[in-house]
Structure 1
């Protein structure tokens, strides 16, 4: 097996009908697109798009805003540092430190014909690692334990390489790549865990002329950090503006539900997605009224709840799940609540993005069969 080659801009497999590179002119940094922003790409409904995404880790100011130097300190050769990350760090991209968020967002992409009331349906077809490493950080006093970690108030960034063989090839154990986290101190031991890449941030533009902060998610999607969104799954988002104006970013190699340190294994991905407009009438028939992100996997329908208060996020997720079951299968709402209590897991998506997230995994076979 050959040694890993980084997916530099325009290099390597590009399976989509369209390709969007992560050039500075096609990026937002710390903010999300709004209705006043112009698309960098326009596609028809049903088109496939390959999108390069950049992780903010290694690019941020508290890591020197110098990806080459930062990753060299972890033994990463120059050819494994992404040229588009280097270009972004060296650019005068308009990001206000301490005011804007950290996330690098590629887009927006206009999808012809999308209108408010419709859903934008995003099928995740392929997610390819662009580099053989990621970073997990605890910073800003905004993890799950903000008064305790980081202990000295200084950013802690843990380098997490993908397991590789003696010739530099990625080790693929039974179809699964593995990441590692060192024990720390004088120990040479590492914890080993399986990787499941996904995009933490996918969204549609909001109405108006004000760009939202990149951290808190909302009805438009954004930084929802739902680790279920691996290849073979779908995200439905309620369209807010004409042509939807879709964007993606915050790529991960892995995440535990909760994302308690603040970030998970943040690492750049090349994503191939299919963008389809689901008309309002069809969306209503299949899902009822969708007011926020809705995930669909081969096994589950996954409505979400969002709030700065975790208890309220759970309540929103329960209400969304009741309405989905009632609309899709015709079950009475009290019976839907009983079913949810008996058979549905309500998982914490994340607790670190100001607006906390909860998602409910409703097993489709319990109704369809």
Structure 2
């Protein structure tokens, strides 16, 4: 196993399978990334709200990479084990004109700069009111290149990942992405110190981020057609969750796809009939709105507690 390091300067602004990789690695190698925040360094601890009107929007949500993984072929699955995630000692949350679920109602720029002390597992939203936020850092962007010729914006999520903004992809989680091009061409970025499901105003606690992942090519998981992930023990459920997603511009169809993909997992990996799998989704699965603001696509998850499978694990 080799360990590779990717610098902040080794980044790009679109999913495009013609972008030359910044590193070639073997399946199972570990890669560490040093990433700027989603503003691409335009926002600093001294930035004021009025400056948000002059942000260079075209440079937002850059990602670091791409990484070429040897033996990765279209139809394979890339397993991304999140080994470490750390943030800077500061972050920001903003209301950006034109962004967010209620963009038509919140048109005035607003900016909050956060203190994120090293070693502290929470940040104060309002100390006088006693409102503090548990910190669960993760990368908002993790994806592989699309087969369709680019460039494709890094703002929306895709079936191949990208800006999935899913708060469960923290240290200890394993993400699975469908590979569409040779080498997979994996990239990551958009550090978040904390976020709620949906990221409704369009920003989380945005922060520069260092993350380390292991990238492994799987030949035996071809049923992964959208991002899937498996959370570790103790993450809300004693054994964690296995989640399938639906990604698309129609929220109902994205939800239906999330359920369909879970049915397939239950058939293939647990030997259930299609009918039993559908019923199990209804009585044990939880639907979550993971990402609802990065148009044109939504990310809807179907989360299945792994504890219901006894000695088996998803």
Are 2:28 and 1:71 aligned? no
Cα distance, 1:211 vs. partner? 1.6
Task: Name 2:236's counterpart in structure 1.
Answer: none
Cα distance, 1:180 vs. partner? 2.2
Task: Name 1:261's counterpart in structure 2.
Answer: 201
Task: Name 2:235's counterpart in structure 1.
Answer: none
Cα distance, 1:315 vs. partner? 1.1
Cα distance, 1:242 vs. partner? 0.5
**What is the CA deviation profile of residues 87-108 of structure 1, one whole-angstrom value per residue up to 9, with x for unaligned ones?**
xxxxxxxxx955x462021000
Q: Take 1:329 and 1:45, find their aligned partners in 2: how far apart are those partners?
A: 26
Q: Is the 8 A contact 1:36 1:208 kept in 2?
A: no
Q: Is the 8 A contact 1:57 1:135 kept in 2?
A: no
**What is the CA deviation profile of residues 17-50 of structure 1, one whole-angstrom value per residue up to 9, with x for unaligned ones?**
1111111xx1113x22x22111011111100111
Cα distance, 1:117 vs. partner? 0.8
Task: Name 1:295's counterpart in structure 2.
Answer: 229
Task: Name 1:11's counterpart in structure 2.
Answer: none
SS at match of 1:335: helix
Equivalent of 2:160, from 211, 214, 220?
Answer: 220
Structure 2 residue runs without a partner (length 5+): 49-54, 233-239
Q: Take 1:115 and 1:18, find their aligned partners in 2: how far apart are those partners?
A: 21
Structure 1 residue runs without a partner (length 5+): 1-15, 60-64, 75-95, 165-169
User: Which structure features the higher share of strand residues?
Assistant: 2
SS at match of 2:158: coil
Q: 1:200 to 1:119 in 2, by over 3 A?
A: same
Moved more, 153-162 or 198-207: 153-162
Q: Return the TM-score normalized by structure 2.
A: 0.88
**What is the CA deviation profile of residues 36-88 of structure 1, one whole-angstrom value per residue up to 9, with x for unaligned ones?**
111011111100111111112473xxxxx4x5xx42358xxxxxxxxxxxxxx
SS at match of 1:227: coil
**What is the CA deviation profile of residues 2-30 of structure 1, one whole-angstrom value per residue up to 9, with x for unaligned ones?**
xxxxxxxxxxxxxx71111111xx1113x
Q: Take 1:344 and 1:307, find their aligned partners in 2: how far apart are those partners?
A: 20
Equivalent of 1:145, from 79, 84, 102?
Answer: 102
Are 2:111 and 1:157 aligned? yes
Cα distance, 1:161 vs. partner? 1.5
SS at match of 2:102: coil
Alignment length (residue pairs): 296
Task: Name 1:38's counterpart in structure 2.
Answer: 20
**Cα RMSD after superposing both structures:** 2.0
Q: Take 1:362 and 1:220, find their aligned partners in 2: how far apart are those partners?
A: 21
Task: Name 1:326's counterpart in structure 2.
Answer: 267
Q: Take 2:136 and 2:152, find their aligned partners in 1: how far apart are those partners?
A: 28
Are 2:212 and 1:278 aligned? no
Are 2:143 and 1:203 aligned? yes
Cα distance, 1:368 vs. partner? 4.4
Q: Take 1:212 and 1:277, find their aligned partners in 2: how far apart are those partners?
A: 24
SS at match of 1:257: coil
Task: Name 1:119's counterpart in structure 2.
Answer: 77
Which aligned runs of 4 or more in structure 1 are off by greater than 4 angstroms? none
Q: Is the 8 A contact 1:225 1:350 kept in 2?
A: yes
Larger-gyration structure (1/2): 1
Q: Return the TM-score normalized by structure 1.
A: 0.76
Cα distance, 1:364 vs. partner? 2.4
Equivalent of 1:250, from 164, 168, 190?
Answer: 190
